Amino acid sequence: MLRDVLIIFRKELKNVFKDGRTIFAVLILPMLIMPIIFLVINTVSTSQAKSFEETVYEVNLVNLPDERFEGILGGLIKYRAVQNTDKEAVLSRDNYLIVEFPADSDQRIARGEGLDAKVYFNSTSRGSSYGAQMIRNALSNYSSLLLADRLAQHGLTLADLNMVSVQQEDVAPEESRGTEFLAVLIPYFLLIYIFSGAMNIGLDTTAGEKERGSMPVLLVNQVSRTSIAMGKILYVMMIAVLNSVFTFIGLMIAFRLGGPAFGAGEMNFSSLSPSTLAGLFVTLLTMAGLAASIIVLLGSLARNIKEGGGYILPIYIFAVVLGVATMQMESPDNPLLYIIPLINSIFVMKDIITLQFVSWRFLLMLLSNLTYVSVLIFALAKVFNSEKIMDSSGS
Amino acid sequence: MVEISSIEKTFESRKKKVKAVDGVSFKAQPGRIYGLLGPNGAGKTTTLRIIATLLKPDSGKAQVMGFDSVKDATQVRKRIGFLTSDMKLSGNLTPRELLQFFGELNHMQNGDIKKAIREMAEYLDMGEFLDKQVGKLSSGMKQKAAMAVSLIHNPEVIIFDEPTNGLDILTARTVTEFLKDYRRQGKTIIISTHIMAVAEKLCDNVGIIFKGRLVENDSLEGLYGKFNEDNLEDLFFKVAEREGVMENA
Q: Tell me: the pLDDT tens digits for A273-282?
A: 888 899 999 9
- Nearest-Cα distance to chain A for B205, in Å, is 25
pLDDT at residue B47 greater than cutoff 90: yes
Total residue length of chain B = 249
Interface of B with A in 185-224 (CB under 8 A): none
3-state secondary structure of A385: helix
Q: Tell me: the pLDDT tens digits for A139-160?
A: 999 999 999 988 998 899 988 8
Beta bridge partners of B27: B3
pLDDT at residue B132 greater than cutoff 80: yes
**Chain B contact set for A212 (CB, 8 A):** 87-90
Chain-chain contact of A222 with B78 (C-beta, under 8 angstroms): yes
d(CA B36, CA B26): 10
User: Mean pLDDT throughout B72-99?
Assistant: 89
Q: Is A317 exposed, middle or buried (0-12, 13-18, 19+ CB in 10 A)?
A: exposed
User: Mean pLDDT throughout B33-38?
Assistant: 94
Chain-chain contact of B87 with A214 (C-beta, under 8 angstroms): yes
pLDDT at A238: 94
The rounded radius of gyration (Å) of the Cα atoms in chain A is 30
Sheet holding A56-62, edge to edge: A78-81, A56-62, A96-100, A118-120
pLDDT at residue B89 greater than cutoff 90: no
Q: Is A25 exposed, middle or buried (0-12, 13-18, 19+ CB in 10 A)?
A: middle
d(CA A308, CA A314): 11
CA atoms within 13 A on the CB side of A265: 7
Which residues of chain A carry a pLDDT beneath 50?
394-395
Identity of the amino acid at B22: D
Q: Which of A333, A361, A353, A355 is CA-nearest to residue A183?
A: A353
Chain-chain contact of B150 with A217 (C-beta, under 8 angstroms): yes
Mutation target among B67, B92, B158 for the A interface, most CBs of A within 10 A: B92
pLDDT at A395: 37
pLDDT at A278: 92
pLDDT at A394: 44
pLDDT at residue B84 greater than cutoff 60: yes
b/e for B79-102, b at 16 or more Cβ within 10 A?
bbbbbbbbbbbbbbbbbbbbbbbb
CB within 8 Å of A78: residues ≥ 6 apart: A53, A54, A55, A56, A57
pLDDT at residue B219 greater than cutoff 80: yes
A-B CB pairs within 8 A amount to 68
Give the Cβ contact number of residue A392 at 10 Å. 18
pLDDT at residue B125 greater than cutoff 90: no
User: Mean pLDDT throughout B96-112?
Assistant: 94
pLDDT-based confidence at residue B141 (cuts at 50, 70, 90): confident
pLDDT at B245: 75
pLDDT at A263: 54
Enter the ipTM: 0.85
Contact B89/A at CB under 8 A: yes
3-state secondary structure of A22: helix
pLDDT at A345: 94
pLDDT at A284: 94
Chain-chain contact of A221 with B77 (C-beta, under 8 angstroms): yes
Give the Cβ contact number of residue A136 at 10 Å. 15
